[in-house]
Amino acid sequence: QVQLVESGGASVQPGNSLTLTCTMRTTSFNFYSLGWFRQAPGKEREGVSCITADGKRFYLGSVEGRFTISRDNSKNLVSLHMTGVDHGDSGVYYCAAEIGTRLCPREWKEDGVDFWGKGALVTVSS
């Protein structure tokens, strides 16, 4: 059974950095594109970033240049390194997996996701 488990959620001050990690329980990690969504209170969930098995990436415009997604195919994990965070980056961050590359890296939307993690809370606060 496929399972995604996030870690690294925390409270951070504006301007600081934070790294989220997601470990995927599967025997077919290289079949999936992996990525992150986030949902702020009162807002819709949005696709933040994704990465294909061969390393092609998508970034939401508001995070490009600040966030970096990476994956380690030998360890079944994907990470999101967030720098220069601001209040708009607060929310629950969900790890997600898509079979193949139907969406990623062209776009990253909920209706393309096959598996979800339970989420990790990121709070940016002074």
Using pLDDT thresholds of 50, 70 and 90, give the confidence band for residue 1: confident
d(CA 29, CA 38): 22
Strand 46-51 to 32-39 pairing: antiparallel
- Percent pLDDT > 90 in the chain is 98
Q: 3-state SS string over the chain? A: CCEEEEECCCEECCCCCEEEEEEEECCCHHHEEEEEEEECCCCCCEEEEEECCCCCEEECCCCECCEEEEEECCCCEEEEEECCCCHHHCEEEEEEEEECCCCCCCCCCHHHCCEECCCEEEEECC
Arithmetic mean of pLDDT, 83-91: 97
User: Is residue 108's pLDDT more than 90?
Assistant: yes
Using pLDDT thresholds of 50, 70 and 90, give the confidence band for residue 99: very high
d(CA 66, CA 45): 19
pLDDT tens digits, residue range 24-68? Answer: 999 999 999 999 999 999 999 999 999 999 999 999 999 999 999
Arithmetic mean of pLDDT, 9-24: 98
- Percent pLDDT > 70 in the chain is 100
Strand 120-124 to 11-12 pairing: parallel
